[in-house]
Structure 1
């Protein structure tokens, strides 16, 4: 009977560890996405200026990731990790595309169990999120700048009433391996 109770409590400890690991991965994913979104949003003013001026060269560079240095990425990652009961232990630029690779550790531990040491174990996870252009330039038409976004034509005229720049139309932010 004692052996069965021990096994039951051991399975419970494994379940606790698994739940804490999932919590850490959720925090890492959210933190990486926040960092990548902040990286994308840093070019909002230059992108709007280039659209307003109709500067196709500048727009092409911005769509290619120029200017996305991620200066505010790690503070954004830390803030979102904190909201998910974790803290960042590493935040570095992603390889290949603008974005960030974030590592987090949970604030809470696995908790006490029949397995010695679990009360001091914290879950750790990492995630990478990147920014990719959805669009390519397709020329100008008067005041409007034309784009091809995910195979669809998009014409943007900043002088139209109610124009609001939404960078998510031009860039995708997603988790990467």
Structure 2
């Protein structure tokens, strides 16, 4: 009987550790995605602004190239906190030409008291990387000074200088995906 109790408590301790680890990974994933989504919003706004200004500058924004001045790491920190974790590190990266973030978080919650030596009050540390992938291309021959045509994964949009209320959404232009 004592052996069964020991196995049951050991199983419970392992399950607690797994829950803490999964919670930490979820917090890291959410933080990395939030940081990349902040950049996506900036690329979207930059694209619309460049279209309204005229010229060819919108192409860089559509390809995910442009000067960013947002707070992706601030967003990562906020999302880590929403998941009861602390942001330990946040770094802007480029992975296969796609801009993104790698974040590392530590949970504020822990395994609690256990009867296993060394397993008490253990917190988890987790890392995640999310990138922004452009989804659209433009047919150069179809462009004119007043409006541009873009194709985003087989869906076509026309955007003009006065189309600030366009049907195209940030998620139409860019995918935000976890890569690690």
**1:120 shift after superposition:** 2.9
**1:65 shift after superposition:** 2.2
2:106 — aligned with what? 105
**1:68 shift after superposition:** 5.2
In 2, Cα distance between equivalents of 1:161 and 1:175: 29
1:93 — aligned with what? 92
Q: Does 1:166 align with 2:169?
A: yes
1:23 — aligned with what? 23
Q: Is the 8 A contact 2:53 2:161 kept in 1?
A: no
Identify which range, 21-30 or 86-95, moves more after superposition.
86-95
- Give the structure-1-normalised TM-score: 0.89
Report the count of equivalent residues: 176
Q: Is the 8 A contact 2:43 2:64 kept in 1?
A: no
SS in 2 for 1:98: strand
SS in 2 for 1:128: strand
- Give the structure-2-normalised TM-score: 0.88
Q: For each residue in 1:132-155, what CA deviation from the matched residue of structure 2 results, as whole angstroms up to 9, or x when unmatched?
A: 111012232562210111123221
In 2, Cα distance between equivalents of 1:164 and 1:143: 17
In 1, Cα distance between equivalents of 2:36 and 2:100: 5
Structure 1 residue runs of 5 or longer lacking an equivalent are none
Report the RMSD for the aligned CA atoms in angstroms: 2.0
Q: Is the 8 A contact 1:89 1:104 kept in 2?
A: yes
- The aligned runs of 1:108-147 (5 Å cut-off) are 108-139=109-140, 140-141=143-144, 143-147=146-150
> In structure 2, do the counterparts of structure 1 residues 76 and 169 end up closer, same or farther at CA, with 3 Å as the change threshold?
same
1:154 — aligned with what? 157
**1:165 shift after superposition:** 6.1
